[in-house]
Structure 1
């Protein structure tokens, strides 16, 4: 009997410790999953806001370009400025974030303001945007720090571009100012909790806009901070958790740098606030498990022994099933993926093309295919070696993936140095546009290739489109059409796009 009691106590202790450890592991795993989900949500939101910001800046840059062209063609005479004033009055409503447009002469004097009246004896040579364009011959738009507008009194972000006189000398600056208030109104509609924050800053570490708004945060330079150096430097996007240098709040951060402009969008939520749901669930789980352990102790050692055996059996089955699922997932991924480039392999390409052909036939939508061949790739391998050739393939593959992001698009390694892109719902004109962008971007990679007449790695692209009822073997016809375009591109000198 004593032996049975001792055994029961021993088994009870083991069960207690096992259940407690499993519960702790489950709660920790749930916490990690919650953090991962929050990071994903923040990254998606940062990407969305980054796209919005890029759109606003692009609209501003296009408006600047039109004004600069008129100034350089017509000059800055009174009649021309009046005509330009009327043109701006007609167009400024197209950009809802617009606070104002001002044109400055070469000495910093105001030549025109969309607000109408010019401030008396106003001069803006002290502004950062004016100094930048005066000292630099670059014709690219310049995104300046947050400043208070002298025409409206509002805090604004400036986007500016220089113009030149007839002698090609510095003629002045055109500035589009975007109201920070309009950004704050958008950020304020996004639920990031009571402790959350949304920020827009330059890649150099200067704050442009921050929600929640505090005037003293505008223009803050945090480029020297340890968090900026550790997290933001050198990365296009990412997530991190650290204590804010502005208000000392521990937050979960996600950021996305613009591909076109030197700005960074950051979304953050308070860590304690974000984990409040998990914390409540963890406490509830701990309470339930504690009650269960107490019940097990009351029932007795015989029932404990049965539960222990059942628990072990169930745990083994669950573990075996999870192992099997993981193995199956790995096998499926390996069966559909090219190991060198990470793209879909030929098998996956064939299955996807067959499926998309059938879908295009049912829905009556066009289906396009691009076949892409790296020019003189054998010569590249012979000159630089197969390791460099593999690196070249990987770089080109990564570039292709960046321009085939729609859910139905598929980038695959067709064979050797030949790659393919399936573009559902895309007509021939759209396919040619994608192909031309891909060709230009790969040439812009500037991968040295002494055996090429272009001096760098280039690609030839064949494009083809299928439209109409599905017919048996249409996949092969589509491939043959794209391959014919590829053959013509090579025969015509390579580094070009050809289509039927």
Structure 2
């Protein structure tokens, strides 16, 4: 019996540590597998989020450059349309006016009057069939009146087209300034070449307009001829004006073959890629393009990506440290799993809170301009696809500056909060949006709403604010009032962009202001 027990004891002792070791190995394997699953999940979720936010950043940069291009092209088109009208009017006068000294003197007075009326016009000049300057808006003709070597003269001499000609930028021989020549052919009654009428647009006119747009130093605004000859470049660089970009990927692969577009490319193989938006003017041989550097486009995304990656690394580090502890006790393992679950939940809540904060105005609690712009673009696209009207109500508090001056900015902020709360209480549909547009301005977006429906909402909004009965000494009625502009349009027809619809609502608001305030006007 004793011998039997003495033989069995070492076997039991050997089996005990083996089972415990296997349990430890199993626990380590479980912890390792769990850690890998968690790490993979976090990395996958973070990767998906970063990919999604990257696409949003690309979309935002494309929208920004497209809007910028639209504004610049509209300015350029308006300038050339005005120039065309002036030249056409003057050519008709020139072709019917006598060429004696008295007739030329009359033309000079007309030229001087037109030049003084239009700030962009550097000069108006008339050249005869030999290229001699015979009339100018300046006081006297220059010492050298021979301009037969100028490109615009040669063009009209050799071409019978009666359309305006936009040449490349040249330097004025009279003042030394850079000018953009816009010219029109002058003909005898029988159609023979009689000379050239030239309107010189000073480049500083475009410079003053382009510098209004705040862009980074590595972004680009350009206006060029269809053949790639640069007419203006922002940031301003005189050496680039007159150069030709027809050999660049941007021009060869895009501008040359398409009327408009948005593309990510570079100006040359040595330079970085940018997000370019470009458009050909419909009636003139001119292209306008805006380029936003990728670094600038993704600066916010990179900051957000770094913070998320840092957060994930911290979480993975914590999980790793806790995993070491979990190999020693099961309770610690359960605690780490719970901590991880709570951390993931907090991350989702934090992201949701940040997203909500980014779309809300902190003062009024209404949606902010950023959210409104996104919803406007979405509803504009939907309206264009479904041929549904889109209503805009633009609201401005009357005499709000005087309100701040009388009652102070603290009272002004409280006033804005009360007005915002009142506007937010107006009964609306699910897709309708009430937002603070900026300062004392508010805006309401009404998808699929006709003019009658928009007017009903505007009247309800005015009634809600009127019920507040906020005292205002500077207001004629002694209480706070609002002016409201209403516009309803059909996206995709004559209203090609959301900004044009906002402009019409703003015009209606201006009418309400001009008509005495405290009223609603419809565009």
Q: If the length of structure 1 is used for normalisation, what is the TM-score?
A: 0.64
Superposition pairs of residues 238-277 of structure 1, within 5 angstroms: 238-245=261-268, 248-277=271-300
- For the aligned residue pairs, the C-alpha RMSD in angstroms reads 4.2
**Which residue in 1 is equivalent to 2:501?**
407
Superposition pairs of residues 2-151 of structure 1, within 5 angstroms: 2=24, 3-151=26-174
Could you give the per-residue CA deviations for residues 255-276 of structure 1, whole angstroms, max 9, x where no partner exists?
A: 2222332211111122223323
- In structure 2, how many angstroms separate the alpha carbons of the residues matched to 1:214 and 1:337? 42
- In structure 2, how many angstroms separate the alpha carbons of the residues matched to 1:79 and 1:153? 30
What SS does the aligned partner of 2:450 have?
helix
What SS does the aligned partner of 1:200 have?
strand
Deviation of the 1:185 alpha carbon:
3.0
- In structure 1, how many angstroms separate the alpha carbons of the residues matched to 2:448 and 2:103? 61
**Which residue in 2 is equivalent to 1:437?**
none
Deviation of the 1:143 alpha carbon:
0.9
User: Is the alpha carbon distance of 1:246 and 1:182 closer, same or farther for their aligned partners in structure 2, counting shifts above 3 Å?
Assistant: farther
- In structure 2, how many angstroms separate the alpha carbons of the residues matched to 1:15 and 1:266? 47
**Which residue in 1 is equivalent to 2:422?**
none
Select 2:200's aligned residue among 141, 154, 177.
177
What SS does the aligned partner of 2:501 have?
coil
Select 1:343's aligned residue among 373, 376, 387.
387
2:234 equivalent to 1:211: yes
**Which residue in 1 is equivalent to 2:337?**
305
User: Is the alpha carbon distance of 1:312 and 1:249 closer, same or farther for their aligned partners in structure 2, counting shifts above 3 Å?
Assistant: closer
Could you give the per-residue CA deviations for residues 109-147 of structure 1, whole angstroms, max 9, x where no partner exists?
A: 111122333233432222222222222222221111111
Select 2:315's aligned residue among 263, 286, 292.
292
Deviation of the 1:173 alpha carbon:
0.8
What SS does the aligned partner of 1:102 have?
strand
Q: Is the 8 A contact 1:201 1:208 kept in 2?
A: yes
- In structure 2, how many angstroms separate the alpha carbons of the residues matched to 1:141 and 1:108? 17
Q: If the length of structure 2 is used for normalisation, what is the TM-score?
A: 0.62
**Which residue in 2 is equivalent to 1:226?**
249
User: Is the alpha carbon distance of 1:351 and 1:212 closer, same or farther for their aligned partners in structure 2, counting shifts above 3 Å?
Assistant: closer
Q: Is the 8 A contact 1:110 1:122 kept in 2?
A: yes
2:268 equivalent to 1:236: no
Deviates more, 1:169-178 or 1:91-100: 91-100
Q: Is the 8 A contact 1:243 1:249 kept in 2?
A: yes
Deviation of the 1:9 alpha carbon:
1.5
What SS does the aligned partner of 1:176 have?
strand
Q: Is the 8 A contact 2:219 2:292 kept in 1?
A: yes
Q: Is the 8 A contact 2:129 2:193 kept in 1?
A: yes
What SS does the aligned partner of 2:275 have?
strand
- In structure 1, how many angstroms separate the alpha carbons of the residues matched to 2:314 and 2:485? 60
- In structure 2, how many angstroms separate the alpha carbons of the residues matched to 1:152 and 1:163? 25
Deviation of the 1:232 alpha carbon:
1.4
What SS does the aligned partner of 1:283 have?
helix
User: Is the alpha carbon distance of 1:161 and 1:92 closer, same or farther for their aligned partners in structure 2, counting shifts above 3 Å?
Assistant: same
User: Is the alpha carbon distance of 1:224 and 1:175 closer, same or farther for their aligned partners in structure 2, counting shifts above 3 Å?
Assistant: same
What SS does the aligned partner of 2:316 have?
helix
The structure number with the bigger radius of gyration is: 2
What SS does the aligned partner of 2:271 have?
coil
Q: Is the 8 A contact 1:357 1:367 kept in 2?
A: no
**How many residues are matched?**
379
User: Is the alpha carbon distance of 1:407 and 1:111 closer, same or farther for their aligned partners in structure 2, counting shifts above 3 Å?
Assistant: same
Deviation of the 1:298 alpha carbon:
3.1
